Amino acid sequence: MKPVSNVTDFFVIASGWSGRQVQAIADGIQEELAKKKIDPWHREGYREASWIVLDYGDVIAHIFFQEKREFYQLERLWAEAPRSMLTEEAGRVHYPKSH
């Protein structure tokens, strides 16, 4: 995000297919970071679970209900930002060839 925004270094964008799944993704992020004694600066949208924002300063996580993700299209809005793909295999980050 640095080349296109001074708000944060990274956006993490994820989505779930139900409100409970969206909350579970947010819970998982918070639990794993809490183990490292990292707490969010701000958390918003948890109760509604259609778009949860977890602000960790340098990293902001956006967890969407899939329908909301398609509507807001953050990837399109920030299309000029470099992208990385985080896979489940050992939490490795894979950079696209264009990066």
Question: Which CATH architecture best describes the domain 10-94?
Answer: 2-Layer Sandwich (3.30)
Is the pTM higher than 0.85? The answer reads: no
Round to whole Å and give the CA distance between 51 and 66: 9
Locus of tokens 């807001």: 72
At 23-61, the pLDDT tens digits run: 999 999 999 999 999 999 999 999 999 999 999 988 889
Q: Three-class SS of residue 77? A: helix
Give the distance from CA 44 to its chain's centroid: 13
- Per-domain residue ranges of the chain: 10-94
Lateral strand order in the sheet of 42-44: 10-16, 59-65, 51-55, 42-44
**Residue 82 backbone class (left: φ over 0; alpha: ψ -120 to 50; beta: rest):** beta
The count of C-alpha atoms lying within 13 angstroms of the C-alpha of 14, restricted to the half-sphere facing its C-beta, is 24
- Give tens-digit pLDDT for 64-83: 999 998 888 877 766 676 66
Per-residue tokens: 47 = 């109760």
